[in-house]
Amino acid sequence: MTKPLEGIKIIDFTHVQAGPACTQLLAWFGADVIKVERPGSGDVTRNQLRDIPDADALYFTMLNSNKKSLTLDTKKPEGKEILEKLVRESDVLVENFGPGALDRMGFSWERLNELNPKMIVASVKGFSDGHHYDDLKVYENVAQCAGGAASTTGFWDGPPTISAAALGDSNTGMHLAIGILTALLGRDKTGKGQKVAVSMQDSVLNLCRVKLRDQQRLERVGYLEEYPQYPHGEFSDVVPRGGNAGGGGQPGWVLKCKGWETDPNAYIYFTIQGHAWEPICKALGKPEWIDDPAYKTAEARQPHIFEIFGTIEAWLADKTKFEAVDILRKFDIPCAPVLTMKELANDPSLRASGTIVEVPHKKRGSYLTVGSPIKFSDMKPEVTASPLLGEHTDEVLASLGYSRQDIFNLREIKAV
């Protein structure tokens, strides 16, 4: 089966998570992704949090599948020369170095565009160009704080909280992938490459748009009726942390199920959709609530929403999270069990769909990783193992015309 991105050659000058998540996605869809790494050490994540001595860490293997690895010291003249050759024949260069690093290396956008006017140069930085923080180096949690996620996540009586989801890293990588694909389509029309830049702050904020909505509502009316602070608590002039409240127009909360006293994940998320009130009452065995004026409308329910959640928890007390969802699904109520990583790793549906895959690896044996969350009718992306450090150096150099003796000499001077 041919893959849509076959024939697209990508220089993957990325490290850690944000950039590698982007290029991994493009590699799944068929792009020829050559990861350029520093000789001897490579991407820092190869060594981070290792669970098997001498084998690449899962942090690396789970972000670099389907790629080739070329070791290259791009600060040495010989390394620069090789990179220039690669640039001349590639379609995309992706990087997420600290601010200014690529320029210091001698590969500014202007230089890259001069070497190959058709090439797309895609970058991740913490903050966008021209932002007053654009000189900062940024990791995941920094981006979550700068992009509005931390101030709006958690409980009102606790500190700003970081989400476990990689809103700053992988999310930014996904935004960049969309930018690259758009620029490739643009190139088909104009014949020209362009610079594509995504900042982690902007990508986090893009996902926090409902909180920007709430800031404006708060400024206009002084309260937010779907937040737990309403109607009994106080609002200041900034969007508060709403705990587990639903972010849209329907209230929801994480509710305890059977076994919550000993199992920290014996919970479901329950949503009270306005038009589903009748089925909810029927599911809970509370038919008297259906037409009771104190419960009938969303507005009437809001002042005592936690009393309602308490009643639902009493109903859940003798049901596991799975049993509860199996009942509620029959009533068309939007809900789900709170699933652990162990449950997800072993979920047969996720294995069958290719969302979680087991990949054989030369040194690790095999490892579990995420597969493509995007499903196509004409293509099933296959996940292959991440490369060992420099595994494809000889192959890539030979394709650029270097002889075995040249490669030996380059190794002697540690340029590759």
- Contact set with ligand CAO (CB under 6 A): 16-19, 36-38, 72-75, 96-98, 101, 104-105, 124-126, 137-140, 169
Query: Which residue out of 169, 263, 291, 406 is catalytically annotated?
Result: 169
CB 269 within 8 A of CB 335: yes
Of 97 and 227, the one with the shorter C-beta distance to ligand CAO is 97
Shortest Cβ 42–ligand CAO spacing (Å): 9
CB-nearer residue toward ligand CAO: 104 or 404: 104
CA 162 to chain centre: 14
Non-local CB neighbours of 186 within 8 Å, separated by 6+ positions: 192, 194
Burial pattern 154-192, b for ≥16 Cβ within 10 A else e, equals: beeeeeeebbeebbbbbbbbbbbbebbbebbeebeeeee
Least separation in angstroms between residue 140's CB and ligand CAO is: 5
Residue 195 DSSP SS3: strand
Residue of 135, 71, 101 lying closest to 391 (CA atoms): 71
CA distance 52 to 231: 53
Active site residue 263: no
Q: Which two tokens stand for residue 182?
A: 């758009």
Query: Residue 44 or residue 398: which is nearer to ligand CAO going by CB?
Result: 44
Q: Give the shortest CB-39-to-ligand CAO separation in angstroms.
A: 8
Residue 67 and residue 385 in contact, taking contact as beta carbons nearer than 8 Å: no
Question: Which residue has the CB atom at the shortest distance from ligand CAO?
Answer: 98
> Nearer Cβ to ligand CAO, position 12 or 214?
12
Q: Where are the alpha helices (DSSP H) in 29-76?
A: 58-61
- What is residue 240's DSSP assignment? P
Least gap, CB of 100 to ligand CAO (angstroms): 7
Nearest approach in angstroms of CB 14 to ligand CAO is 8
- The residue (of 282 and 414) whose beta carbon lies closer to ligand CAO is 414
Active-site residues, by number, are 169
